Amino acid sequence: MKAKQGISKLLYLLLCIGIILSNFFLNTPFSKIVSADKVNNDVSEKLPDSYIKIAETDEIVLCTAHNYGIAVEDKRNGHLWSSGVDYEKYDEDDLNDLMISKMTALFDFKYTNTANKKYAIVAVDYTIHKPEVNTKPAKNGINMLYKFDKLGISIPLKISIEKNILTIHISVEEIKEEGDYHLISLDLLPFMGASYNKEQGYMFYPDGSGALFRFTNEPRKNINRSSFYIYGTDSLDIDKYEDNNNINIKAAMLPVFGIKKGEDAAFLAAITEGEYDVAVNFTPSGFSNIHLNRISPEFTYRRTYKDLRDNPNIPPRIETEMLKTDREVKYFFLANDNADYSGMANEYRNYLIEKGDLVKKIDENSIPMGLDLFMGIKEERILFDKFIQATTFKQAETILKEFSEQGVDNIQVCLIGWGAKGYGSYPVFFPPNSKLGGAGGLKELAEYTKEKGYLLYLDANFADANKDSGDFSVRNDTVYSKNGLIVSDMTNKKFLLNPIIALKRFNNQFISKAKEFKIDGLCFEQIGSQLYHDYHKKYSATREETAQYWQEMLEETGKQLGTSGVSGGNSYVLKHVDRLFDIPVEDSGNIITNEAIPFYQMVIHGYVTYSSTPGNLFYDFQNQKLKWVEYGCIPYFKLTYSKSDVLKYTDYNSLFSSYYKEWLDIASNIYKEFNERLGELWPKEIVKHEQLRENIYKVTYGGGTSVYINHNQANVFTEGYEIKAVDYLVVDKEGNMR
């Protein structure tokens, strides 16, 4: 009898669970769920009765949630992360059904009606387009299929957990478009971790080196959404791109963002598939009358493009074909002492290492000095152009000898403007310019650097093409936009090389010649910072495919020459390069940002050599030197043998202070100082960065050594140590200072 009663209770329990699941999954993503009184054994004691456990690991619990879609409980601190907002507890009275639907949906998306040819982009309205949601149990999670019957659009979500990670995957092959409506973009978990101003915490976004927005009740002006495009925008506008470089706008180099709440809860979100066509949207409280701070990824499925007639009254057209790429985001939940932006950086670094996307290239305690030597450039004149020699190969050897005499024994030197027609004459490179010393001069310089143990790089650019340089077909070798036009600047002199053509030129015409000179590597401009989608009829390429071609160049360079470097540091280059140039030590100056952080540097320090702005171009040398210390950069200078006046009428006139004799002692002394005080930290990871007080920072390395940085004009005391004005102090784990 007792056995029969036990079976009856079990059947009743299973029936209750089935009713609850069907009520949840067959309604909209913001429908209420019947109270789950009978399934309390399946949920944490800290969770409300209406939460239903789907899967569990040692660290987290995945649940479906009343009005929320999904929720994740972190068992280590009890914090509950919800995909939506409990609007019943929301402190605003003017919420309408549309706002509620957006605050509680698992995703938002935009679509267009291609049948009427008006190409209007519309955001889905869940109050009109109520989805049918079909679900299936899955390993460590659940699969969900949203069907919007009126639109003929179906969107799949595969949701799972492992260790401390929530993964949401969208298979492009399972997206269905069975009518006149087509998907434009999808904003995933737009309210995950949404935060009130009164809460303690911040949001992290990958602007420049990394940036924070701290929650505050203080009123803010200019409340607008900010979008950080991973690997830059795909505008295919050369003039705009060059303007952005001039005003120091930074693209997002890493596909990540994060949130910290309270003292002990945080997550890092990493876009692990589809990162080539996504923007991270940060929306501060007050935007669209929703008083919550929120951040999420918006994936692009179709791009817009201009009509050939270029009439401002004609709306942009939309691609007919969807980008055939799966999309995926991983949320790494962090707890207790690990729950801050330092913990986020450590988590992402470990993820990249595990995937093989970050490889250790540094194994010694000697910090190199980065040295760019600018060689030559054409100066345009009315009748005849003139070639300006700023540094010949023989003069470059002289500069290196003088540095050697000063005790600088580890130099990574890159020659800029060494080619046949000088700087900017892409895609023409060989032979080396005769006025600089020709092939013989370059070979002699390479022999000298080999003898001294220096690394010698040649600057190369396979993305840009200058019409005045010749040696390429504007019609056949350049990038096309979707409207069939060749991409160029306003003067029709500057173009972008098709990435397939660029790779062929590199393999067939360049790398074997470079190898003859016994150099150590190449430093590539653009490919570490710029991606584009090419609609070339014969050699089309998506942004993801373009990145793959750039990676092939870097791999081949490593095989043939030994090392490679790039300007910029988009994450797709990290496992292929030994040297990164032009890595920012600041954000782009966005009005919403409270402070810049060295997130990027924390991820890669100890693995890849990197530098920021050349020291001879600093506006405040001492404070900028401290930035090198705080962000773990190598000392780096861009110099010439001649005085910089010779460049004032060229396109390289921004090099306003480059005469090597004026910088020889300064650069040599900084090199020796860095190696004496920081050398042992060079191969180690930065495990924590923190602001102790205003303009006072502490950087902790693996092994326990800390560096205190004081940007103030007066001495300060902190944590028992005195740090001199505009200086830094190194303290090892035993408390010894240097």
Q: Where are the alpha helices (DSSP H) in 222-296?
A: 238-246
Residue 398's pLDDT band (boundaries 50, 70, 90)? very high
- The sign of the CA dihedral 272, 278, 279, 285 is negative
Contact between 304 and 118 under an 8 Å Cβ cutoff? The reply is no
Contact between 202 and 284 under an 8 Å Cβ cutoff? The reply is no
3 state DSSP class of 644: helix
Q: Residue 230 has what DSSP assignment?
A: B
What is the CATH T-level fold of the domain 684-738, as seen in this structure? Immunoglobulin-like (2.60.40)
In whole angstroms, give the CA distance from residue 329 to residue 157.
Answer: 11
Token pair for residue 443? 């070979």
Q: Which residues contact 614 (CB under 8 A, 6 or more apart)?
A: 372, 636, 637, 638
Tell me the range of 126-135, 236-245, 337-346 where mean pLDDT is highest: 337-346
Residue 19 above 50 pLDDT? no
Each residue of 478-507: pLDDT tens digit? 999 988 899 998 889 999 999 999 999 999
What average pLDDT does this structure show over 12-39? 37
Each residue of 122-134: pLDDT tens digit? 899 888 998 999 9
Superfamily of domain 369-460+503-683: Glycosidases (3.20.20.80)
Residue 101 above 60 pLDDT? yes
3 state DSSP class of 690: strand
Contact between 218 and 198 under an 8 Å Cβ cutoff? The reply is no
Each residue of 380-396: pLDDT tens digit? 887 778 999 999 999 99
Would you tell me how many other CB atoms lie within 10 Å of the CB of residue 274?
Answer: 25
**Which range (167-176, 183-192, 615-624, 675-684) has the least confidence?**
615-624
Query: Which pLDDT belongs to residue 249?
Result: 41
Q: Which one-letter amino acid corresponds to residue 275?
A: E
Token pair for residue 12? 């009743």
- Measured between alpha carbons, how far is residue 598 from residues 75, 212, 341 in Å? 30, 11, 10
**Which range (127-141, 228-242, 272-286, 421-435) has the least confidence?**
228-242
Contact between 79 and 335 under an 8 Å Cβ cutoff? The reply is yes
Residue 323's pLDDT band (boundaries 50, 70, 90)? very high
Residues 374, 380, 386: CA angle, nearest 5 degrees: 65
Contact between 598 and 707 under an 8 Å Cβ cutoff? The reply is no
Residues in the chain: 738
Domain boundary assignment for the chain: 2-82, 97-188, 201-355, 369-460+503-683, 684-738
Report the chain's mean pLDDT, rounded to a whole number.
89
Q: What b-and-e string marks burial along 685-703, b requiring 16 or more CB atoms within 10 Å of the CB?
A: bbbbbeeeeeebbbbbbee
What average pLDDT does this structure show over 277-305? 91
Residue 39 above 50 pLDDT? no
Residue 176 above 80 pLDDT? yes
Residue 281 above 80 pLDDT? yes
Alpha carbon 182 to its chain's center = 29
Contact between 583 and 598 under an 8 Å Cβ cutoff? The reply is no
Residue 37 above 60 pLDDT? no
What average pLDDT does this structure show over 196-208? 94
**Which range (21-35, 58-72, 73-87, 638-652) has the least confidence?**
21-35
What average pLDDT does this structure show over 630-657? 93
Across 385-439, the runs of DSSP E, i.e. the strands, are: 386-389, 411-416
Across 591-695, the runs of DSSP E, i.e. the strands, are: 595-596, 609-610, 636-639, 686-693
Q: Which residues contact 682 (CB under 8 A, 6 or more apart)?
A: 362, 364, 365, 366, 367, 606
Contact between 72 and 61 under an 8 Å Cβ cutoff? The reply is yes
Q: Can you give the C-alpha Rg of the chain in angstroms?
A: 28
Token pair for residue 315? 């709306």
Residues 277, 279, 283: CA angle, nearest 5 degrees: 160
Alpha carbon 467 to its chain's center = 32
Residue 40's pLDDT band (boundaries 50, 70, 90)? very low
Same fold: 369-460+503-683 with 684-738:
no
Containing 613, the helix (H) or strand (E) segment is none
